[in-house]
Structure 1
Amino acid sequence: MPKVATRLNDTQIKRAKASDKNYELSDGEGLILRVLTSGTKSWIFRYSPPYTKKRTNISFGTYPLITLKEARQLREEARTLLAKNIDPKEHKKQAEAFEISEAQNTFRLVAQKWFEIKKTTVTEGYAEDLWSSLENHLFPRLGDRAIRDLTAPLVIEVMQPLAARGVYEQIRRLCQRVNEIMTYAVNTGIIHANPLAGIKSAFQSPKRNHMNTIEPERLPELLERLNRASIKYTTRCLIEWQLHTLCRPSEAACAKWSEIDFENEIWTIPAERMKARKEHKIPLTKQSLHLLELMKPISAHLEYIFPADRNPRTHTNPQTANAALKRMGFQNILVAHGLRALGSTILNEKGFDPDLIESALAHTDKNEVRRAYNRAQYLARRREMMEWWSEHLTESL
C-alpha cells in the first residue's frame, strides 16, 4: 500500500528554519515547500508533463506571500490542467505573454493597425478626416490606454463635451469608428469581446439634414454673386469647376493635371479618390476646358489644378468653396455639395434620363449589368447632357 504523505500545516511551515543545505517539505500530490539556506521558503509543484513524462517543476511563489491554502489551490488548478493534457508551465507562459501583449496593445496602436486597412477602402480626404477625429477627440485621453481596459462609461464620458456642444453627427461618426476598431481587435484576437457596441444609445440621434441648396430659379443670382464676389481667383474657378463638372467638393479640390485627357476632353478621377471606390470619367465641355486654360498660368507647373494658397505643392482645402459661399451670403442656404443637387434638379426638370444624371453624379448603380452598360454607352450621351448644362450655366449669367 503506497505511503500517504503527511499534510503540512502553518505551524510546521513557520517553524521550518534555514539549514546549511536546501531541504524540502512535502504536502503531497506534488506540492513541496523548498526551504533555502537563505531562509526563503518557496512553493514548488513537481509533475510529469503530458507526452514527455520527464519530471519538472513549476514555482507557485514564496511563503508567506502565497499561503498554504493558496498554494494548495494552485496545485489543484495545475492538476486540472494536467488532466486535460495541458502543461501548467506552458500554460503559465502563454498567459503571461497574453497579459503583456494586451497591456502593450493600446487603443492608439490598435487604431493605427485598423487604419492601415481602412484607408485603402475610402477616399484620401475621408481618411484624413477620420484620423483627425480620433486624434482630436479620443486619443488625448484614451490613446495610451490598453484597449482591453476601455469601457462604455469611460468612452461615453470622453464624448460628453461633444454632446454638450450638440454635435451629435460627429458623435455618431466617432461611435461608428470606435466600434470598427474594437471589432478589428476582436477579429484579430487582441480582445475577446467588444464592450462598446451600444455606446451610441447614450446620446441623442443626429437630425438628418439634406445638403443645403437653392431653387433652380436662383441660379442666375448665384452666378451673379460669384462673378462679383471678393474671393480669390482660384476659389472662383474652383466653384465654377464644381458647377460645370457636377463633382463633389473633395474631388474638385484634389483634381490633378495628370487626370486630364486634353485630347479626348475627359477628366478621369481615380477609384481611390471616389466615394464608391470606382473610377469616374467626366466629359469636359468647352467651358470646363476654358477654366483649365485660366488655371494653367497659376498651377500648370504644379501637381494640383487648384493649389492651396499657403502651400502650392498641395491642393486647396475641400472646405474652401463652402467658406466662399458663406461670404457670398449663402450661409445656411447653399453648400458646395448642394451645387450637385442644384444641377440634378435642373437636369431632371429638363427631361434628361434620370439614369444618365445619376451616372454623371457618380452615384453607384447596384445593378451590375446596367452599371457595365453605363460605363460603355453612357459617356457619349453624358457629354451631350453636360454640354447642355454648361451652356445653361453660361446663358444664366
Structure 2
Amino acid sequence: MKLVGTGTPHIPSGQPSARCSAFASTTYGADNDPTYALRGALLPVEEQHHAAITDEKEFGGLLRTIDEFNGWLTLKAALQIMALCYPRPVELRHAEWGHFDFKEKVWTIPEHLAKMRRPHDIPLSPKALTIIQGLKPISGDSQYVFPLSMTVESGPCIFVQKGPRFWG
C-alpha cells in the first residue's frame, strides 16, 4: 500500500481484503493488517468477457435480423427493445405499464428490479416508444408489457428470458 495525494491509500483493485484493512487503519487507526497472512493464498478471479457486437455493420445486421423475425410478436418486440434501450433481461421481463411515462418518453426501472437496488430511468427513442405502445393490444389487461403468450394473467414472459439464448 502506498499513500497518494492527501493520504488516500492506494491498493491494487485485486485485493479487496487489503482495501478493507487499509480503510480501517487510515480511518480508525487500526494497528495491524489481519489479512497479511492471507496474501498470495487467495487466487484472483479470472475476468470473463461475454460475447458482444462492437462493429456497427454487424450491429446493423443484428437489427435487420430482428426486424425480419417472424416469430412471437412479444419476443420480437423484446429483442428490439433490448437492442434499443439495453435493459437487463429481468428489467425487461418484469416491465409493467406503470413503469413507462409516454409523455416524458422515459422508462423508470424500480429499485426492486434494479441491479444496485436504485431506481433509474431509461430514455425512450421514438422507435422504442412505437414498439412498446404497439404491445398494448397484445398484453390486454395485463400489468406486464411482455405477458406470457399462453395467458395474459400468468406473469412476465419467460420467452423474453430464454429467447435470446436460443439465438446464440
Question: 1:357 matched to which residue of 2?
Answer: none
Question: 2:88 matched to which residue of 1?
Answer: 248
CA contact (8 A) 1:302 1:312 kept: yes
The counterpart of 2:52, out of the listed 213, 225, 230, is: 213
The counterpart of 1:270, out of the listed 110, 115, 119, is: 110
Larger radius of gyration between Structure 1 and Structure 2: 1
CA contact (8 A) 1:238 1:321 kept: no
Shift of 1:225: 1.6
The higher relative CO (CA closer than 8 Å, separation ≥ 6) is in 2
Question: 1:77 matched to which residue of 2?
Answer: none
Shift of 1:207: 5.9
CA contact (8 A) 2:147 2:157 kept: yes
Question: 1:319 matched to which residue of 2?
Answer: 161
Shift of 1:274: 0.3
Paired residues in the alignment total 124
Deviations 1:271-315 (A, max 9, x none): 011000001111222111101221011014211001112343200
User: Within 5 A, what are the aligned runs for 1:371-390?
Assistant: none
User: Within 5 A, what are the aligned runs for 1:325-364?
Assistant: 326=167, 331=168
Shift of 1:251: 0.7
Does 2:66 match 1:226? yes
Shift of 1:265: 1.7
Q: Percent identity?
A: 25
Give the AA of the match of 1:301.
D
* In structure 2, distance between residues paired with 1:256 and 1:280: 15
SS of residue in 2 equivalent to 1:282 = strand
Deviations 1:327-378 (A, max 9, x none): xxxx2xxxxxxxxxxxxxxxxxxxxxxxxxxxxxxxxxxxxxxxxxxxxxxx
* In structure 2, distance between residues paired with 1:224 and 1:260: 26
CA contact (8 A) 2:146 2:156 kept: yes
CA contact (8 A) 1:249 1:321 kept: no
User: Within 5 A, what are the aligned runs for 1:112-123?
Assistant: none
Give the AA of the match of 1:232.
W
Question: 1:297 matched to which residue of 2?
Answer: 137
Structure 1: any 5+ residue segments left out of the alignment?
Answer: 1-200, 332-397
Larger fraction in helix: 1
* In structure 2, distance between residues paired with 1:289 and 1:315: 19
* In structure 1, distance between residues paired with 2:141 and 2:71: 23
* In structure 1, distance between residues paired with 2:140 and 2:102: 13
Shift of 1:260: 0.9
Q: CA 1:311–1:277 in structure 2 vs 1: closer, same or farther (change >3 Å)?
A: same
Question: 2:121 matched to which residue of 1?
Answer: 281
Structure 2: any 5+ residue segments left out of the alignment?
Answer: 1-40
* In structure 2, distance between residues paired with 1:206 and 1:312: 43
Q: Report the TM-score when normalising by structure 2.
A: 0.65
CA contact (8 A) 1:256 1:305 kept: yes
Shift of 1:229: 2.7
User: Within 5 A, what are the aligned runs for 1:27-42?
Assistant: none
User: Within 5 A, what are the aligned runs for 1:1-397?
Assistant: 208-216=47-55, 217-313=57-153, 314-317=155-158, 318-324=160-166, 326=167, 331=168
Shift of 1:218: 0.3
CA contact (8 A) 2:63 2:83 kept: no
Shift of 1:322: 1.8
CA contact (8 A) 1:235 1:320 kept: no
* In structure 2, distance between residues paired with 1:281 and 1:218: 28
